[in-house]
Amino acid sequence: MAVSEVELDVLTGKYKFLRADIIHDVGRSINKKIDIGQVEGAFIQGVGWVTNEEMKYDEKGNLLNHSPDTYKIPGVNDIPVIFNVHLLEGAPQPKTIRRSKAVGEPPFMLAFSTWLAIKDAVSAVADHRIEPEFSIPATHEKILLSIDKLKRESCEI
């Protein structure tokens, strides 16, 4: 489970990642510090995927952004100001080694909470009366385009 909170600047499309609260089920943890680190890392990797890792192709389908100078991966400024990660207690996984569960990649999907928080903030522009057109990744450009479209549509209502 993950809940994310963002603050959105509707003039620039930039957001500030205020908070993320995560409870992740790893069964019976073999090493809590390693498991928490895995959850944090996978979550932030997922945040990059849903917010700024935009892949661009030319007309022939060739990938244009193929290196760190043309492809934005998460950095220290993409980590929420408040970042709480807890492991679910009392949920051992029977029939597994030491009753633990996989923890490497599953928390990646928890980043949808960040994308949805941004989408909800965009939706607030039209008082949540209109579902915003919003795709992944939620780049600043896509955020601004979505806000602009909501403003136009809300004038028509």
Q: Which fold has domain 2-116?
A: Aldehyde Oxidoreductase; domain 4 (3.30.365)
Residue 65 has pLDDT above 70, yes or no: yes
Query: Which DSSP category does 64 fall into?
Result: S
User: How far is Cα 46 from Cα 40, in angstroms, rounded to an integer?
Assistant: 10
Instruction: Locate the domains of the chain by residue range.
Output: 2-116
User: How far is Cα 70 from Cα 146, in angstroms, rounded to an integer?
Assistant: 24
Query: Which DSSP category does 137 fall into?
Result: S
User: Which residues are designated catalytic?
Assistant: 105
Q: What pLDDT score was predicted for residue 111?
A: 97
pLDDT band at 157 (very low <50, low <70, confident <90, very high): low
Query: Which DSSP category does 104 fall into?
Result: S
Q: What average pLDDT does this structure show over 2-27? A: 95
Question: Is the C-alpha dihedral spanning 127, 132, 138, 143 positive or negative?
Answer: negative
